[in-house]
A and B are shown apart, each in its own frame.
Chain A
Amino acid sequence: MRPDDEGQHGRAARRASLPALFAVCLKIGVLSFGGGLSAWLHQEFVERHCWISEDDFASSLAISQMLPGANVVNLVVCMGEQLRGPLGAIAAAFGFLVGPFFAVIGMSALVDRVHDLAELEGVLTGVAASASGLLLVICWRGTRRAARHASGLAIVAATAIGVAVLKLPLLLVAAIIAPISVALSWRRVKSDA
């Protein structure tokens, strides 16, 4: 970042307290239904509370998406660290996850309690199906992005076929294909530069 970028739009000014950080993450965690969360985190951390600058948010998001783990959890870990160090990262991640933790278990306990209802099986099958549909959208977008390069498309296909059709262990497939894919994209990035 150039020094003259550090105006109103560059660097966030306000300092976050640990309880405030925890509270914001708790709120987003409890109300976080089905994705689109990075937009919401942006709204809270960058626009509303002015804790994180646009540039810092973008670089945290890039790291979160590149590494394994739930993207939003990675994102709050990065922002928590930036705001308050290790304790901030813990407060943010814990705040974000504690609500969903009790929510899923509560819902599952409720489902177990009314399990005699024959209708419930159909409802859950339908919910699983529509949730798979939401994932299909992610697959479609990811495949289109990957299809910009022939090798990207091949990597998508090889991974999916290896795991779902050939039933090879996922760890094995990822351990073989991921380094190959990164090496291919490294060569591309180098030749672009």
Chain B
Amino acid sequence: MRDDAYLGLLAVFVPFSLISIGGGASIISGMEGEVVRARAWLTSREFVELFAISRAAPGPGTMLATLVGWKIAGWGGAVVASLALFVPSSLLCYAVFRLTNAHREKAWHRAMREGLAPVGTGLIIAGVLSILQLSGAVGLTATVAFASAVLVMGLPRIPVLMIIALGGATGWLVG
């Protein structure tokens, strides 16, 4: 049973590791598709909660995978999911760095960078839309999200944790 869970986590997260262009936020939508819709490991509610926790805690947003693993298969699941998500992309990065660092600023570097960036942006937009769709109160979520974005753009020096805390306080008062 547990071995099945580990294999399932590997099957989900290893491919996502290699497709997480622009970082962990780009695979939120895909994770939701696998974890909530296709495999029904978690409910929408649980997924949104884990997303909230992964963003309020320190570390890259990719720690969402660690939490999914932990929910499904305990400590072992957390370790398996984390390794599945961080090892493949890190190995790829290591290899590319080793092989190409000697001749940097090649044209293909720029082409890769400029070509992949819009894909990453599109994936993150999809991730935000997924969270909005999953969250029960779409109006409240969209309003708080928009207000947080405006606040960050207007006051770039505001600590991220304060934005998160303001969002939590609003949800507590209104929800």
A residues within 8 Å of B by Cβ? 29-36, 59-60, 62-74, 77-78, 81-82, 86, 89, 93, 97, 99-101, 103-105, 107-108, 111, 119, 121-140, 142-143, 145-146, 152-153, 155-160, 162-165, 167, 169-171, 174-175, 177-178, 181-186, 188-190, 193
User: What's the minimum C-beta distance from A109 to chain B, rounded to whole angstroms?
Assistant: 9
Instruction: Kindly list chain B residues whose C-beta atoms are within 8 Å of the C-beta of A104.
Output: 53-54, 57, 59, 63, 66-67
Most chain B beta carbons < 10 A, residue from A65, A132, A185, A189: A132
B residues within 8 Å of A by Cβ? 15-25, 27, 29-30, 33, 45, 48-63, 66-67, 70-71, 75, 78, 82, 86, 89-90, 92-94, 96-98, 100-101, 104-105, 107-133, 135-137, 140-149, 151-153, 159-161, 163-164, 166-175
Docked complex Cα distance between A64 and B56 (Å)? 23
From known contacts A68-B20, A73-B89, A108-B50, infer whether A78 and B97 are also in contact, taking CB-CB under 8 Å. yes
From known contacts A101-B59, A136-B146, A189-B107, infer whether A108 and B171 are also in contact, taking CB-CB under 8 Å. no
Q: Majority SS of interface residues in chain A?
A: helix
Q: Is the CB of A101 within 8 A of B149?
A: no
Q: Is the CB of A188 within 8 A of B114?
A: yes
Q: Is the CB of B116 within 8 A of A182?
A: yes
User: What's the minimum C-beta distance from B26 to chain A, rounded to whole angstroms?
Assistant: 8
Of the candidates B107, B137, B160, B166, which one forms a contact with A125 in the assembled complex, judged by CB atoms under 8 Å apart? B137
Chain A residue at smallest Cβ distance from B49: A124
Q: Is the CB of A30 within 8 A of B114?
A: no
Instruction: Kindly list chain A residues whose C-beta atoms are within 8 Å of the C-beta of B45.
Output: 121
Chain B residue at smallest Cβ distance from A37: B60
Q: Is the CB of B93 within 8 A of A128?
A: no
Chain A residue at smallest Cβ distance from B59: A100
Of the candidates A65, A69, A101, A134, which one forms a contact with B78 in the assembled complex, judged by CB atoms under 8 Å apart? A101
Q: Can you identify 12 A-B contacts, CB atoms within 8 angstroms?
A: A60-B97, A65-B22, A77-B90, A78-B93, A104-B57, A105-B66, A124-B171, A134-B148, A134-B152, A139-B128, A140-B153, A143-B125
